[in-house]
Structure 1
Amino acid sequence: MHTMKESDRDVLPSHTSLLKATLGALLIGAILLVTAVMPAEFGVDPTGLGGVMGFDRLHSEADTTEASNDTGTGSASLMGGMEPPVWRGNQPHRSDRMSLTLAPGEGAEIKAQMAEGDRFVFNWRAEGGTVTFDMHGEPPNAGDEFTSYWVGRDQTTASGTFEAPFEGTHGWFWVNRGREPVTVSVETSGFYQSLFKP
Protein backbone atom coordinates (compact mmCIF):
# COMPACT_ATOMS: atom_id res chain seq x y z
CA MET A 1 0.00 0.00 0.00
CA HIS A 2 1.34 3.40 -0.98
CA THR A 3 1.43 6.15 1.61
CA MET A 4 1.96 9.82 0.81
CA LYS A 5 5.29 11.13 1.91
CA GLU A 6 5.92 14.65 3.09
CA SER A 7 7.87 15.36 -0.12
CA ASP A 8 4.84 14.35 -2.23
CA ARG A 9 2.66 16.86 -0.41
CA ASP A 10 5.01 19.67 -1.39
CA VAL A 11 4.34 18.93 -5.09
CA LEU A 12 0.55 19.30 -4.76
CA PRO A 13 -0.97 22.77 -5.34
CA SER A 14 -2.11 24.69 -2.31
CA HIS A 15 -5.73 25.54 -1.59
CA THR A 16 -5.01 29.15 -2.49
CA SER A 17 -3.53 28.30 -5.92
CA LEU A 18 -6.47 25.93 -6.66
CA LEU A 19 -8.91 28.71 -5.79
CA LYS A 20 -7.04 31.19 -8.01
CA ALA A 21 -6.99 28.74 -10.94
CA THR A 22 -10.73 28.01 -10.55
CA LEU A 23 -11.61 31.72 -10.41
CA GLY A 24 -9.38 32.39 -13.44
CA ALA A 25 -11.11 29.63 -15.44
CA LEU A 26 -14.54 30.99 -14.47
CA LEU A 27 -13.48 34.50 -15.55
CA ILE A 28 -12.19 33.28 -18.93
CA GLY A 29 -15.38 31.24 -19.42
CA ALA A 30 -17.54 34.27 -18.64
CA ILE A 31 -15.58 36.42 -21.09
CA LEU A 32 -15.96 33.80 -23.85
CA LEU A 33 -19.67 33.45 -23.07
CA VAL A 34 -20.31 37.20 -23.40
CA THR A 35 -18.03 37.94 -26.39
CA ALA A 36 -18.39 34.77 -28.50
CA VAL A 37 -21.13 32.34 -27.47
CA MET A 38 -23.95 34.82 -26.85
CA PRO A 39 -23.46 36.74 -30.16
CA ALA A 40 -23.02 33.54 -32.21
CA GLU A 41 -25.79 31.44 -30.64
CA PHE A 42 -28.39 33.96 -29.48
CA GLY A 43 -27.66 37.18 -31.39
CA VAL A 44 -27.05 39.05 -28.11
CA ASP A 45 -23.88 41.16 -28.04
CA PRO A 46 -23.73 43.23 -24.81
CA THR A 47 -20.08 44.27 -25.24
CA GLY A 48 -20.04 44.84 -29.02
CA LEU A 49 -16.92 42.67 -29.33
CA GLY A 50 -18.92 39.85 -30.93
CA GLY A 51 -19.71 42.12 -33.87
CA VAL A 52 -16.11 43.30 -34.14
CA MET A 53 -14.87 39.70 -34.25
CA GLY A 54 -17.66 38.56 -36.59
CA PHE A 55 -19.41 36.14 -34.22
CA ASP A 56 -22.77 37.90 -34.66
CA ARG A 57 -22.77 36.90 -38.35
CA LEU A 58 -22.85 33.24 -37.32
CA HIS A 59 -26.21 33.84 -35.64
CA SER A 60 -27.73 35.73 -38.60
CA GLU A 61 -26.41 33.13 -41.05
CA ALA A 62 -28.01 30.32 -39.06
CA ASP A 63 -31.35 32.16 -38.94
CA THR A 64 -31.44 32.96 -42.67
CA THR A 65 -30.29 29.47 -43.63
CA GLU A 66 -33.04 27.90 -41.52
CA ALA A 67 -35.57 30.31 -43.01
CA SER A 68 -34.46 29.50 -46.55
CA ASN A 69 -34.70 25.76 -45.84
CA ASP A 70 -38.20 26.23 -44.42
CA THR A 71 -39.54 28.38 -47.27
CA GLY A 72 -37.72 26.67 -50.12
CA THR A 73 -36.01 29.83 -51.40
CA GLY A 74 -32.26 30.13 -51.70
CA SER A 75 -31.73 33.82 -51.12
CA ALA A 76 -29.92 33.55 -47.77
CA SER A 77 -26.52 35.21 -47.56
CA LEU A 78 -23.48 33.41 -46.27
CA MET A 79 -20.71 34.93 -44.17
CA GLY A 80 -18.95 37.82 -45.80
CA GLY A 81 -21.95 38.77 -47.96
CA MET A 82 -21.33 35.98 -50.48
CA GLU A 83 -24.30 34.45 -52.26
CA PRO A 84 -25.05 30.79 -51.53
CA PRO A 85 -23.92 28.33 -54.20
CA VAL A 86 -27.50 27.17 -54.91
CA TRP A 87 -30.46 29.40 -55.67
CA ARG A 88 -33.81 27.60 -55.90
CA GLY A 89 -36.37 29.10 -58.25
CA ASN A 90 -40.13 29.21 -57.73
CA GLN A 91 -40.79 28.91 -61.48
CA PRO A 92 -39.71 26.21 -63.93
CA HIS A 93 -36.71 27.08 -66.09
CA ARG A 94 -37.52 28.59 -69.49
CA SER A 95 -35.75 30.28 -72.39
CA ASP A 96 -37.32 32.77 -74.78
CA ARG A 97 -36.31 34.76 -77.84
CA MET A 98 -38.29 37.72 -79.25
CA SER A 99 -37.65 40.51 -81.70
CA LEU A 100 -39.32 43.71 -82.83
CA THR A 101 -38.62 46.27 -85.52
CA LEU A 102 -38.70 49.97 -84.69
CA ALA A 103 -39.33 52.57 -87.36
CA PRO A 104 -37.48 55.90 -86.98
CA GLY A 105 -38.85 57.68 -83.90
CA GLU A 106 -40.78 54.60 -82.73
CA GLY A 107 -40.58 52.92 -79.31
CA ALA A 108 -41.73 49.51 -78.09
CA GLU A 109 -41.42 47.13 -75.14
CA ILE A 110 -40.75 43.51 -74.30
CA LYS A 111 -41.58 42.47 -70.74
CA ALA A 112 -41.38 39.44 -68.46
CA GLN A 113 -44.07 38.55 -65.94
CA MET A 114 -42.20 37.76 -62.72
CA ALA A 115 -42.77 37.02 -59.05
CA GLU A 116 -40.57 38.70 -56.46
CA GLY A 117 -37.17 36.98 -56.45
CA ASP A 118 -37.51 35.41 -59.92
CA ARG A 119 -34.32 35.68 -61.99
CA PHE A 120 -33.17 35.58 -65.58
CA VAL A 121 -30.06 36.08 -67.70
CA PHE A 122 -30.60 38.36 -70.70
CA ASN A 123 -28.95 39.60 -73.85
CA TRP A 124 -30.38 41.95 -76.45
CA ARG A 125 -28.91 43.26 -79.68
CA ALA A 126 -29.98 46.05 -82.07
CA GLU A 127 -29.32 45.63 -85.80
CA GLY A 128 -29.49 48.50 -88.26
CA GLY A 129 -28.61 51.28 -85.81
CA THR A 130 -28.51 52.28 -82.17
CA VAL A 131 -31.33 52.59 -79.64
CA THR A 132 -32.07 54.39 -76.41
CA PHE A 133 -33.41 52.03 -73.76
CA ASP A 134 -34.90 51.93 -70.29
CA MET A 135 -34.90 48.65 -68.36
CA HIS A 136 -37.66 49.03 -65.78
CA GLY A 137 -40.49 47.33 -63.92
CA GLU A 138 -43.88 48.01 -62.43
CA PRO A 139 -46.01 46.17 -59.87
CA PRO A 140 -49.56 45.05 -60.75
CA ASN A 141 -52.08 47.90 -61.16
CA ALA A 142 -49.34 50.55 -60.91
CA GLY A 143 -50.82 52.77 -63.60
CA ASP A 144 -48.12 55.04 -64.99
CA GLU A 145 -45.69 54.42 -62.12
CA PHE A 146 -42.55 52.38 -62.77
CA THR A 147 -39.05 51.81 -61.40
CA SER A 148 -36.05 52.27 -63.74
CA TYR A 149 -33.10 49.90 -63.29
CA TRP A 150 -30.83 50.78 -66.22
CA VAL A 151 -31.02 53.57 -68.82
CA GLY A 152 -28.75 53.87 -71.86
CA ARG A 153 -28.43 55.97 -75.02
CA ASP A 154 -27.08 55.07 -78.47
CA GLN A 155 -26.57 51.40 -77.60
CA THR A 156 -26.42 48.35 -79.86
CA THR A 157 -26.36 45.62 -77.19
CA ALA A 158 -26.73 44.94 -73.47
CA SER A 159 -26.56 41.82 -71.33
CA GLY A 160 -26.61 40.80 -67.69
CA THR A 161 -28.65 39.12 -64.99
CA PHE A 162 -31.78 40.42 -63.31
CA GLU A 163 -33.63 39.56 -60.10
CA ALA A 164 -37.15 40.96 -59.70
CA PRO A 165 -37.31 43.18 -56.60
CA PHE A 166 -41.11 42.91 -56.56
CA GLU A 167 -43.94 41.06 -58.30
CA GLY A 168 -44.97 42.53 -61.63
CA THR A 169 -43.71 43.08 -65.16
CA HIS A 170 -40.04 43.81 -65.81
CA GLY A 171 -38.29 44.45 -69.11
CA TRP A 172 -37.15 46.99 -71.67
CA PHE A 173 -38.47 49.98 -73.58
CA TRP A 174 -36.42 50.78 -76.70
CA VAL A 175 -36.64 53.93 -78.86
CA ASN A 176 -35.15 54.30 -82.34
CA ARG A 177 -33.87 57.86 -82.59
CA GLY A 178 -32.14 57.21 -85.91
CA ARG A 179 -33.27 57.59 -89.52
CA GLU A 180 -33.40 53.89 -90.44
CA PRO A 181 -35.44 50.97 -89.06
CA VAL A 182 -33.78 49.04 -86.24
CA THR A 183 -34.53 45.43 -85.26
CA VAL A 184 -34.05 44.55 -81.59
CA SER A 185 -33.71 40.88 -80.63
CA VAL A 186 -33.78 39.82 -76.97
CA GLU A 187 -32.97 36.45 -75.41
CA THR A 188 -33.81 35.49 -71.84
CA SER A 189 -33.18 32.34 -69.85
CA GLY A 190 -34.13 31.72 -66.25
CA PHE A 191 -37.03 31.44 -63.86
CA TYR A 192 -40.03 33.66 -64.67
CA GLN A 193 -43.63 33.23 -65.78
CA SER A 194 -43.63 34.57 -69.35
CA LEU A 195 -42.00 36.91 -71.87
CA PHE A 196 -44.37 39.03 -73.96
CA LYS A 197 -44.90 42.18 -76.05
CA PRO A 198 -47.42 44.52 -74.34
Structure 2
Amino acid sequence: MQDTLSNKALLKATVIAVFIAGLALVSFILPAEYNIDPTGIGAKLGLTALANPKAAVVSGAETKATIDVPKSVQAADIIEVIIPAGRGLEFKFAMEKFKKMEYQWQTDGAAIFFDLHGEPEGDTTGYYESYAIATLADMQGSFTTPFAGVHGWYWKNKSAQAVVITLTVSGEYSVIGLKK
Protein backbone atom coordinates (compact mmCIF):
# COMPACT_ATOMS: atom_id res chain seq x y z
CA MET A 1 0.00 0.00 0.00
CA GLN A 2 1.34 3.42 -0.98
CA ASP A 3 1.22 6.30 1.48
CA THR A 4 -0.42 9.45 0.19
CA LEU A 5 0.13 12.96 1.38
CA SER A 6 -2.71 15.07 2.61
CA ASN A 7 -3.69 18.25 0.84
CA LYS A 8 -2.30 20.21 3.79
CA ALA A 9 1.12 18.49 3.45
CA LEU A 10 1.18 19.06 -0.32
CA LEU A 11 0.35 22.74 0.15
CA LYS A 12 3.08 23.07 2.78
CA ALA A 13 5.66 21.40 0.48
CA THR A 14 4.61 23.65 -2.42
CA VAL A 15 4.94 26.81 -0.31
CA ILE A 16 8.42 25.73 0.87
CA ALA A 17 9.52 24.96 -2.72
CA VAL A 18 8.25 28.35 -3.96
CA PHE A 19 10.06 30.09 -1.09
CA ILE A 20 13.36 28.33 -1.89
CA ALA A 21 12.98 29.11 -5.60
CA GLY A 22 12.30 32.77 -4.80
CA LEU A 23 15.32 32.90 -2.51
CA ALA A 24 17.52 31.42 -5.25
CA LEU A 25 16.10 33.91 -7.76
CA VAL A 26 16.77 36.94 -5.56
CA SER A 27 20.15 35.77 -4.21
CA PHE A 28 21.78 34.17 -7.26
CA ILE A 29 19.91 34.45 -10.56
CA LEU A 30 19.06 38.17 -10.56
CA PRO A 31 22.63 39.25 -9.62
CA ALA A 32 24.27 36.90 -12.13
CA GLU A 33 21.93 37.51 -15.06
CA TYR A 34 20.63 41.07 -14.62
CA ASN A 35 23.02 42.77 -12.14
CA ILE A 36 20.09 43.23 -9.73
CA ASP A 37 21.27 42.48 -6.19
CA PRO A 38 18.67 43.35 -3.52
CA THR A 39 20.32 41.17 -0.84
CA GLY A 40 23.99 42.07 -1.49
CA ILE A 41 24.89 38.37 -1.63
CA GLY A 42 25.50 38.50 -5.38
CA ALA A 43 28.22 41.14 -5.02
CA LYS A 44 29.90 39.24 -2.17
CA LEU A 45 29.96 36.08 -4.27
CA GLY A 46 31.11 37.91 -7.41
CA LEU A 47 27.92 37.11 -9.31
CA THR A 48 27.20 40.69 -10.38
CA ALA A 49 30.40 40.66 -12.46
CA LEU A 50 28.86 37.93 -14.61
CA ALA A 51 25.99 40.20 -15.62
CA ASN A 52 28.17 43.13 -16.64
CA PRO A 53 31.49 42.15 -18.26
CA LYS A 54 33.33 45.33 -19.11
CA ALA A 55 33.83 46.20 -22.74
CA ALA A 56 36.33 48.79 -23.82
CA VAL A 57 37.06 50.33 -27.15
CA VAL A 58 40.62 51.48 -27.60
CA SER A 59 41.55 53.49 -30.65
CA GLY A 60 45.09 53.34 -31.97
CA ALA A 61 45.18 57.13 -32.13
CA GLU A 62 44.38 57.44 -28.42
CA THR A 63 46.92 56.96 -25.68
CA LYS A 64 44.85 55.28 -23.00
CA ALA A 65 42.26 52.55 -22.66
CA THR A 66 38.78 53.17 -21.39
CA ILE A 67 39.28 50.41 -18.82
CA ASP A 68 41.34 51.92 -16.04
CA VAL A 69 39.96 50.37 -12.85
CA PRO A 70 42.49 48.03 -11.21
CA LYS A 71 41.13 44.57 -10.49
CA SER A 72 42.61 41.57 -8.79
CA VAL A 73 40.06 38.91 -9.76
CA GLN A 74 37.13 39.24 -12.14
CA ALA A 75 35.08 37.40 -14.72
CA ALA A 76 36.15 38.40 -18.24
CA ASP A 77 37.08 41.68 -19.88
CA ILE A 78 36.38 42.19 -23.58
CA ILE A 79 38.66 44.81 -25.07
CA GLU A 80 38.69 46.12 -28.63
CA VAL A 81 42.00 47.51 -29.86
CA ILE A 82 42.35 49.24 -33.24
CA ILE A 83 45.85 49.01 -34.73
CA PRO A 84 46.29 51.70 -37.42
CA ALA A 85 47.86 50.75 -40.75
CA GLY A 86 51.64 50.47 -40.55
CA ARG A 87 51.76 50.95 -36.75
CA GLY A 88 52.38 48.85 -33.69
CA LEU A 89 50.74 49.07 -30.25
CA GLU A 90 51.15 47.39 -26.88
CA PHE A 91 48.30 46.48 -24.54
CA LYS A 92 49.46 45.64 -21.01
CA PHE A 93 48.32 44.18 -17.69
CA ALA A 94 49.99 44.33 -14.27
CA MET A 95 50.29 40.88 -12.72
CA GLU A 96 51.90 39.39 -9.65
CA LYS A 97 54.24 36.39 -9.77
CA PHE A 98 52.59 33.01 -10.54
CA LYS A 99 49.20 34.51 -11.46
CA LYS A 100 47.27 33.10 -14.40
CA MET A 101 45.57 34.80 -17.33
CA GLU A 102 43.34 33.10 -19.87
CA TYR A 103 42.98 34.91 -23.17
CA GLN A 104 41.49 34.78 -26.62
CA TRP A 105 41.92 37.34 -29.36
CA GLN A 106 41.00 37.61 -33.00
CA THR A 107 41.36 40.22 -35.69
CA ASP A 108 38.66 41.37 -38.06
CA GLY A 109 40.17 39.00 -40.63
CA ALA A 110 43.77 40.01 -41.27
CA ALA A 111 46.75 38.16 -39.83
CA ILE A 112 48.88 40.40 -37.63
CA PHE A 113 52.37 40.10 -36.09
CA PHE A 114 52.36 39.83 -32.29
CA ASP A 115 54.71 39.27 -29.36
CA LEU A 116 53.12 38.15 -26.08
CA HIS A 117 55.68 39.04 -23.43
CA GLY A 118 56.38 40.27 -19.91
CA GLU A 119 58.68 42.83 -18.32
CA PRO A 120 59.84 42.30 -14.71
CA GLU A 121 58.72 44.79 -12.11
CA GLY A 122 61.40 47.37 -11.33
CA ASP A 123 63.69 46.34 -14.20
CA THR A 124 65.48 49.27 -15.81
CA THR A 125 67.60 47.33 -18.32
CA GLY A 126 64.85 46.90 -20.93
CA TYR A 127 64.72 43.11 -20.40
CA TYR A 128 61.56 41.31 -21.43
CA GLU A 129 60.63 37.65 -21.84
CA SER A 130 58.57 36.57 -24.85
CA TYR A 131 55.97 33.84 -24.34
CA ALA A 132 54.78 33.63 -27.96
CA ILE A 133 55.78 35.35 -31.23
CA ALA A 134 53.94 34.75 -34.52
CA THR A 135 51.79 36.24 -37.24
CA LEU A 136 48.19 35.06 -36.83
CA ALA A 137 44.59 36.21 -37.19
CA ASP A 138 43.56 34.69 -33.84
CA MET A 139 44.95 32.93 -30.79
CA GLN A 140 43.76 31.58 -27.48
CA GLY A 141 45.45 30.10 -24.47
CA SER A 142 46.65 30.87 -20.98
CA PHE A 143 49.88 31.69 -19.23
CA THR A 144 51.16 31.84 -15.68
CA THR A 145 53.47 34.74 -14.97
CA PRO A 146 57.04 33.71 -14.08
CA PHE A 147 57.61 37.06 -12.34
CA ALA A 148 55.72 40.12 -11.10
CA GLY A 149 55.52 42.90 -13.65
CA VAL A 150 53.83 44.10 -16.80
CA HIS A 151 52.60 41.45 -19.23
CA GLY A 152 50.74 41.73 -22.53
CA TRP A 153 50.82 41.96 -26.30
CA TYR A 154 52.69 43.98 -28.86
CA TRP A 155 50.79 43.93 -32.17
CA LYS A 156 52.33 45.25 -35.42
CA ASN A 157 50.02 45.99 -38.33
CA LYS A 158 52.08 45.71 -41.52
CA SER A 159 49.04 46.15 -43.79
CA ALA A 160 47.64 49.29 -45.43
CA GLN A 161 44.33 48.98 -43.52
CA ALA A 162 43.55 49.38 -39.80
CA VAL A 163 43.12 46.05 -38.00
CA VAL A 164 40.58 45.60 -35.21
CA ILE A 165 41.52 43.13 -32.47
CA THR A 166 38.96 41.78 -30.01
CA LEU A 167 40.75 40.58 -26.87
CA THR A 168 38.94 38.61 -24.16
CA VAL A 169 40.86 38.05 -20.92
CA SER A 170 40.16 36.65 -17.48
CA GLY A 171 42.35 35.96 -14.50
CA GLU A 172 44.22 37.87 -11.83
CA TYR A 173 45.45 41.18 -13.22
CA SER A 174 45.01 44.94 -13.30
CA VAL A 175 44.44 46.53 -16.69
CA ILE A 176 47.11 49.06 -17.66
CA GLY A 177 45.92 49.50 -21.24
CA LEU A 178 47.85 50.98 -24.13
CA LYS A 179 51.53 51.50 -23.41
CA LYS A 180 53.72 53.86 -25.33
* Global fold match (TM > 0.5): yes
For the residues of structure 2 that align with 1:160 and 1:122, how far apart are their CA atoms? Answer: 6
Q: Residue 132 of structure 2 aligns with which residue?
A: 150
- Identify the match of residue 84 of structure 2 among 103, 107, 128: 103
SS in 2 for 1:145: coil
CA distance in 2, matches of 1:149, 1:92: 22
Give the CA deviation at 1:93: 3.1
Q: How does 1:36-115 map to 2 (within 5 A)?
A: 91-115=72-96
Contact 1:114–1:193, Cα closer than 8 Å, also in 2: yes
SS of the residue 1:197 aligns to: strand
CA distance in 2, matches of 1:145, 1:170: 12
Deviations 1:24-63 (A, max 9, x none): xxxxxxxxxxxxxxxxxxxxxxxxxxxxxxxxxxxxxxxx
Aligned-residue Cα RMSD (Å) equals: 1.5
Deviations 1:107-144 (A, max 9, x none): 00111110001111100111152210000000123232
1:188 is matched with which residue: 169, 172, 180? 169
Aligned-partner residue type, residue 179 of structure 1: A
Separation (CA, whole Å) in 1 of partners of 2:130 and 2:171: 21
Alignment of 1:125 onto 2:109: no
Partner of 1:15: none
Asked which structure has the greater RCO (Cα within 8 Å, sep 6+), the reply is 2
The match for 1:162 among 143, 158, 162 is 143
Matches of 2:122 and 2:101 in 1, distance apart? Answer: 23
Q: State the AA in 1 paired with 2:106.
A: R
Q: Distance in 1 between matches of 2:164 and 2:140?
A: 16
CA distance in structure 2 between the aligned counterparts of 1:194 and 1:181, rounded to whole angstroms = 23
Cα separation, 1, equivalents of 2:97 and 2:177: 18
State the SS of the aligned residue for 2:102.
Answer: strand
- Structure with more of its chain in strand, by fraction: 2
Contact residue 94 and residue 191 of structure 1 kept, 8 A: no
Task: Identify unmatched segments of 5+ residues in structure 1.
Answer: 1-90
- 1: CA distance between counterparts of 2:110 and 2:82? 11
Aligned-pair identity (%): 28
* 1:83 alignment partner in structure 2: none
Structure 2: unaligned runs, 5 residues or longer:
1-71
